[in-house]
Structure formats: structure tokens, C-alpha cells
Amino acid sequence: MSPVRLYRLVARAEAVTWALLLLGMFLKYVTETTELGVRVFGMLHGVVFIAYGLTTVLLWIDQRWSVGRLVGGLACAVPPFATVPFELYAERRGLLGEQWRLREETPTGPLEGIAAWLVRRPAQGLAVGVAAVAVLTGVALVVGPPA
């Protein structure tokens, strides 16, 4: 999967899970009918939020984004639906790329070495990504919800 396609998928999934969480919050707090939506969609949104963050970091490394763009991309996961405009901005600016740079280029440091390993071995990279999302979700569950 190309960087542009992966980022589009994850950014839009993050926005969709935001919408589902907001629906759950409406049912819980406005109609006072159920809190199941918050439980289910809150967990789903949390998982996709973490996946979006990890994908943003991978693109930052592979596509050589500035730190400011990394921070901007990560910050866009906080307000509802902001990942989609950021993804569109990044695509228009050519920040996403049709190819993984580190699939061909020699890594220049430890972060690029890790990213190169992930993009050169897509199946293992996916497995590592899923495991990282699971571990970070577990940590978030232990730490508890935001105050």
C-alpha cells in the first residue's frame, strides 16, 4: 500500500470513528437512552486514534516531514474530523508520496532504519503496527481516560 493510500485510509477512519463517538455521546448525554455507544465507539475511536498517530510518525520519518508538520498532523487527531483536511493538505503539498522512500533508499539513522524495515517487509510491518496499537491501547486503558 502506498503512503498516500495508507494515510488517506487511516485519516478518514479516524474521522468516521469520531462521528460514531459523537453519536454515542449524543445518545448518552442528550437522549439519555444508552451509554453503549460511548463504550463501543469510544474504544474503537481510541484504537484508530493510536493507529493514526503511529501512521503519522511513520510518514514523518519516511517522507522527511518537518517536525512542525508532524506536530500538526498529530494535533489534527484531537478536534473532530480535522484529520481529513490535514490529509488533503498533505496530499496537495506532495507530502505523502506514491512510493515509500525508504523501500529503496539507505536509512541514515536508527529511526529511518526501523521505518525502512517496516516498509520493506509489509506483512511484518503490519504485524508490528497491529501489535504497537494493541500495546499502546493497553497502556491507555491502564492509565485511564483523559481527565
Radius of gyration of the chain from its Cα atoms, rounded to whole angstroms: 17
Proportion of the chain in helix, strand, coil states, percent, rounded to 5: 75, 0, 25
Q: Are 28 and 35 in contact (CB under 8 A)?
A: yes
- What range does the domain containing 121 cover? 3-143
pTM over 0.85: yes
pLDDT score, position 145: 75
Give, in order, the Cα–Cα distances in Å from 107 to each of 112, 115, 118: 5, 8, 12
What's the CA gap between 140 and 1, in Å, rounded?
A: 28
Rounded average pLDDT per 10-residue block, the chain, 147 residues: 96 97 95 93 96 98 97 97 98 95 96 97 97 96 82
pLDDT score, position 147: 67
Q: Tell me, what amino acid is at 58?
A: L
Tally of domains in the chain: 1
Question: Long-range contacts: 35-42, Cβ < 8 Å, 24+?
Answer: 41/17
